[in-house]
């Protein structure tokens, strides 16, 4: 489902309401809410909104468990760290207990960090399938999402839940949830705004399936819901909105 808004200023509150609704439902159904955070620049404002009085009061934050869709292979205190961005915008203002935050440990070797994170996921879900309540995703101008970049081997991963991948384009390793892992989620929500995303949105939604060129096409939750929270600028090249 594509939800189109004039701009980020009305898109973000709507997505924050969606997060609140999913949190309440998950906590009601199974006592806790597993939320996968997206990295990049677009979600920072959403995280900052969620800690404002209006939203802060609506969620039992002690029952929320935070995961990451991907991480840049930089130290946790590095300005490019997705963890650091979320820590400043969300974790610190909410004063969460450390057990609620599942960080990708970039102090380990890339493969070891991916393996370690997969163990964390299996540990959190124990005997149940790894099925996040809500996965938040961004979208790159090149139609990548999480760290599922065009023309990379991880796009064809069928078994692992988490993989390390060297991305030539950004000259660094990334640790990322795989598409099979994301597609096990109960809900997936893309957060996409700005004209620079319009070309990618057109290809993803209106071109034939070509996951190597447009990796975001891989995101098809099996038995879960898929939502696109987008603004007018990002949908300007869609022929049928």
By the criterion CB under 6 A, which residues form the site for ligand 6PG?
38-42, 69-70, 72, 82, 138-140, 144-146
Are 214 and 203 within 8 A, CB to CB?
Answer: yes
Q: Give whichever of 26 and 36 is closer to ligand 6PG, judged by the CB atom.
A: 36
Are 38 and 7 within 8 A, CB to CB?
Answer: no
Q: Give whichever of 71 and 133 is closer to ligand 6PG, judged by the CB atom.
A: 71
Least separation in angstroms between CB 202 and ligand 6PG: 17
Least separation in angstroms between CB 133 and ligand 6PG: 19
Please give the Cα distance from 205 to 239 (Å, whole number).
10
Are 77 and 84 within 8 A, CB to CB?
Answer: yes
- Return the beta strands (E) in 50-154 as ranges: 64-68, 70-72, 134-137
Q: Provide the pairing of β-strand 2-5 with 225-231.
A: parallel
Strand-pairing partners, residue 34, are 65
Q: Give whichever of 215 and 224 is closer to ligand 6PG, judged by the CB atom.
A: 215
Residue 87 gets which letter from DSSP? Answer: I
Closest CA to 140 of 79, 89, 69: 69
**Residue whose C-beta lies closest to ligand 6PG:** 138
Least separation in angstroms between CB 225 and ligand 6PG: 19
Element (H, E) at 227: strand 225-231
Least separation in angstroms between CB 193 and ligand 6PG: 9
Q: Give whichever of 82 and 187 is closer to ligand 6PG, judged by the CB atom.
A: 82
Number of residues that this document lists for the chain = 241
Least separation in angstroms between CB 237 and ligand 6PG: 17
Q: Give whichever of 34 and 38 is closer to ligand 6PG, judged by the CB atom.
A: 38
Q: Give whichever of 23 and 219 is closer to ligand 6PG, judged by the CB atom.
A: 219
Least separation in angstroms between CB 103 and ligand 6PG: 14
Closest CA to 38 of 142, 149, 135: 135
């Amino acid at each position: 489902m594509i939800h189109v808004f004039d701009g980020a200023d009305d898109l973000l509150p709507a997505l924050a309401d969606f997060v609140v609704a999913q949190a309440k439902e998950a906590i009601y159904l199974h006592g806790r809410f597993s939320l996968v955070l997206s990295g990049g620049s677009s979600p920072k404002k959403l995280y900052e909104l969620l800690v404002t009085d209006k939203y802060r009061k609506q969620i039992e934050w002690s029952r929320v468990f935070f995961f990451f869709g991907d991480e840049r292979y930089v130290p946790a205190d590095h300005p490019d760290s997705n963890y650091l961005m979320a820590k400043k915008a969300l974790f610190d203002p909410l004063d969460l207990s450390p057990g609620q935050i599942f960080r990708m440990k970039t102090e380990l070797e890339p493969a070891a960090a991916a393996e370690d994170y997969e163990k964390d996921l299996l540990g959190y879900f124990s005997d149940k399938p790894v099925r996040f309540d809500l996965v938040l995703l961004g979208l790159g101008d090149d139609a990548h999402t999480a760290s599922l970049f065009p023309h990379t081997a991880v796009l064809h991963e069928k078994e692992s839940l988490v993989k390390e991948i060297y991305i030539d384009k950004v000259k660094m390793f990334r640790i990322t949830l795989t598409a099979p892992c994301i597609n096990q989620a109960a809900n997936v929500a893309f957060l996409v705004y700005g004209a620079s995303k319009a070309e990618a949105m057109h290809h993803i939604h209106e071109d034939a399936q070509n996951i190597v060129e447009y990796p975001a096409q891989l995101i098809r939750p099996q038995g879960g819901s898929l939502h696109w929270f987008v603004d007018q600028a990002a949908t300007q090249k869609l022929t049928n909105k």
